[in-house]
Chains A and B, each alone.
Chain A
């Protein structure tokens, strides 16, 4: 295929070849129809430094083993489908570049921890979304907005909860939490982040309800400030900070 229109001789200017590397991925596979236990499998793929782990998974699935199963939708860090544990840390496969990893050693890829493993890199996300729904993550107000107008909010009031609006519900934070691994009843960082987003919204009137929900044995007090969630968040949300703010709001009795 030639794309070059401005060279009449039809000889495109040769570009310097981009260096490709052989990267070894060790993926934790699990097929519930065949396996009793998950197993590790090696794959060698040719990758460029600018490729992502998601590209490597695609290459494996399309060229080597079509049975490899993983979730991905937008592939650009917005949908939050492809959170997985890469070299022991929760990351989005679509935001992890080969050049940021040490490819002299194999790269370990496995499903996120703490949620029921369904197949290969896919976990059952239902418990995660159940906790999310429980904190009532939607605007609640008893008063009607001004006629034919939106609810007005100052820039400062909007900025108060800006950080927690960025959540894409990928579960990287919740499944990085040691407390959540051992206690699946814990709401988890993601649910608290999404509660924070409405608790500190000046237009919302149900902050007290949410604070009561989170002032529970399995609520914010389960947080042991390991900061794994903050390190794992692909959107850079200061998750532990948000949880600390909810803790303080509960102690104050108001946002």
Chain B
């Protein structure tokens, strides 16, 4: 690597720095990640549900494998992803269609986070009880 007369060379990755966007960018990143995650869930969900019609016995066997604490925690992640995606989806619709949507996008982002926390605070204790009852069996 050529050493320049002025300054020192420090080895760093040649790629640029991460763009430091604000709430809008991170809400978009989360929306994309949760969207892809929900897509893969739905793919599996449609496959296992369709087994009811094809082979009810196989369906029951598959559903029984879901009844363990690891899947229980996965369900918390799934509900978290869906709740964020749903609330942020409403925010994006308002940005596009409401004349003041762009002006209040940052406020709406924190409203989305707030609603997400409230929803998850209601869901997580209930789900933990379900997981514990599965462990007890």
Contacts and interface: CB of A to CB of B under 8 A. Distances in A.
Interface of A: 26, 28, 34, 37-44, 60, 64-65, 67, 85, 87-89, 108, 110-111, 113, 176, 178, 224-228, 230-231, 238, 240-241, 244, 247-248
Nearest to A60: B6
A244 B102 contact: yes
Contact of B105 (A89, A110, A113, A227): A227
Contact of B5 (A38, A65, A88, A226): A65
Contacts of B19: 85, 88-89, 113, 176, 178, 228
Interface of B: 1-2, 4-10, 12, 14, 16-25, 27-28, 92, 95-97, 99, 101-103, 105-106
Contacts of B1: 39
Given A40-B10, A42-B7, A64-B6, A225 B96 contact: yes
Q: Is the interface of B mostly helix, strand, loop or mixed?
A: loop
A113 B101 CA distance: 28
A225 B104 CA distance: 12
Nearest to A225: B95
A41 B5 CA distance: 11
Nearest to B22: A231
B27 to A, nearest CB: 8
Given A41-B9, A85-B19, A176-B19, A241 B103 contact: yes
